[in-house]
Amino acid sequence: MQSRVKQLLLLLSLLLMSAEAIAEDTLASVLSMAAEQQYLAIDYQEVRHLQLLSEPWQATGRMFVSPDAFVIEQASPQRQLLAANKQRFWLFLPEREIRRTGMLTTPMAIKSFGLFKPLMRGDRDALERAFDIQFTATAKQWQIELKPKRSSKSLYKRIYVKGNPSQPADQMKTEMEDGDYSEWSFKQKTFDADIEERVKALMDEARGL
């Protein structure tokens, strides 16, 4: 259960880096644009490659981000909701009638989410304190590689975020110390009034209102 929350919170944090990048961009310019992200609606697919499974595990869904809230609605293989405001998160598994909630300041949330706050804020100084960073950009793709400086404070061995020139990030890969890894692909959608209402409804559902 906690592993799923950690994975989804990481996805949220990194998708907020979906600023437009071009071949001439630097890490500083990408982070600066990332800090300007306010509203996101994204279709995503996740593929987990686990040594304990003979076949990759796959999931699809949508993510919604606004200044005051975020929601990740997994559509398959089972519907799940992860919602959060600036203080708390809520996990709801409708098929199993399970609800979980917690503060974003708990040790679990800090380890999985707090480490990546510099990405959302475009805070380069804080980012460089937490990660060894490699940024590359070519005519075909830009990439940010993040390697935690202290493994005890991270769930991952290495993280890659990629995107096409002048386009938001559309790929992410997270590698674990044990060799397991996950691949994400995502496509940004228009965040309109209907989406805003959907976010409110999903937040209420996740909180049991």
CATH number of the domain enclosing 187: 2.50.20.10
Domain of residue 11 covers: 2-207
Distance CA 128, CA 117 (A): 12
pLDDT digits (tens, 9 = 90+) for 66-121: 888 888 899 999 999 988 888 898 999 999 999 999 998 887 676 665 555 556 55
Band the pLDDT of 138: cuts 50, 70, 90.
Answer: confident
Side chain identity, residue 171: Q
Share of the chain above pLDDT 70, in %: 74
Q: Which of 181, 46, 32, 184 is nearest to 118 (CA)?
A: 32
Pairwise pLDDT comparison (5 vs 123), residue with the higher score: 123
Rounded to whole angstroms, the Cα distance separating 41 from 18 reads 11
- From the number of C-beta atoms within 10 Å of its C-beta (0-12, 13-18, 19+), residue 195 rates as middle
Give the C-alpha separation, 27 to 196, whole Å. Answer: 31
pLDDT of residue 22: 47
User: Residues of the chain with pLDDT > 90: what percent?
Assistant: 30
Shortest CA distance to 82 belongs to which of 113, 124, 128? 113
The count of domains in the chain is: 1
Mean local confidence (pLDDT), 130-156: 83
Cα of 116 vs its chain's centroid, Å: 9
Contacts of 97 (CB under 8 A, 6+ apart): none
Q: What's the pLDDT at 23?
A: 43
Looking at residue 130, its pLDDT comes to 79
Q: Which of 90, 41, 89 is nearest to 64 (CA)?
A: 41
Residue 18 has pLDDT above 70, yes or no: no
Is the entire prediction scored with pTM above 0.85?
no
Residue 50: its pLDDT value, please? 92
Q: Indicate the range of 121-125, 129-133, 170-174 predicted with least confidence.
A: 121-125
The mean-pLDDT minimum among 8-12, 60-64, 86-90 falls in 8-12
CA 155 to chain centre: 13
Residue-level pLDDT at 21: 52
Q: What is the pLDDT of residue 128?
A: 82
Highest mean pLDDT among 32-41, 152-161, 177-186: 177-186
Query: Partners of 133 in the beta sheet?
Result: 146
- Decide which of 4 and 109 is more confident: 109
Q: Which two tokens stand for residue 35?
A: 């800090």
**Coil, strand or helix: which one is 20?**
coil
Q: What is the pLDDT of residues 39-58, one digit of tens each?
A: 888 899 999 999 888 899 99
Q: What is the pLDDT of residue 9?
A: 59
pLDDT, residue 8, reads: 60
Q: Is 112 exposed, middle or buried (0-12, 13-18, 19+ CB in 10 A)?
A: buried
